[in-house]
Homo-oligomer: A and B are copies of this chain.
Amino acid sequence: MPAKRHPDHAPLELERFLPYQLSIVSNTVSQAIADDYQARHDLSVTEWRVMAVLARFDGLSAREVAERTAMDKVAVSRALARLVAAGRVRRHIHASDKRRSVLGLTAAGWRIHDEVAPMARQRERDLLARLEPEEQAWLRGILDKLMPPDTAGQTAAKG
């Protein structure tokens, strides 16, 4: 019985399936931002995220960076190795705990940050520009709700 269609199987309509849509939209916009800096500064997505976090929270340890970027610690370790080698991040050892590193952007790191951050913001605006103001507001609220609690707005690192 060579049935051509299988309506009884209820296949997913991928293009209206939320996790799929999220993945496509997210990848598209992240890639657009990455294109802005990748070639230009020889900077990977991972490295940029580390820099963005250090721009906001000076003096974090590698583990804290991993926590805030939701990346695994191996990825962070490697990104840091490259960033330190390139002179974009400064790393020294914590005064009272010799295992921990204390991280921050160097002047060169800040220069790159100050060039890339506005481009990233522009991409965010481009994305929002495709929505009505009302939709923009809803999207913000919705994403705030959907963010897993451990990555969402914690208090800033103290100096």
Interface residue SS majority, chain A: helix
Q: For the complex, is A40 an interface residue (Cβ under 8 Å from B)?
A: no
Is A55's CB under 8 angstroms from B12's CB? yes
Q: CB within 8 Å of B: which of A1-47?
A: 4-6, 9-30, 33
Select which of B11, B114, B135 is within 8 A of A141 by beta carbon. Answer: B135
Please state the number of chain copies in the assembly.
Answer: 2
A56 to B65, CA, bound (A): 41
A159 to B21, CA, bound (A): 26
Q: CB within 8 Å of B: which of A126-153?
A: 127-128, 130-131, 135, 138-148, 151-153
Interface residues on A, range: 35 or more
Q: For the complex, is A53 an interface residue (Cβ under 8 Å from B)?
A: yes
Q: For the complex, is A73 an interface residue (Cβ under 8 Å from B)?
A: no
Is A70's CB under 8 angstroms from B113's CB? no
Task: Tell me which residues across on chain B come within 8 A of A19, comparing CB atoms.
Answer: 26, 29-30, 33, 120, 123-124, 127
Task: Tell me which residues across on chain B come within 8 A of A49, comparing CB atoms.
Answer: 14, 20
A112 to chain B, nearest CB (A): 11
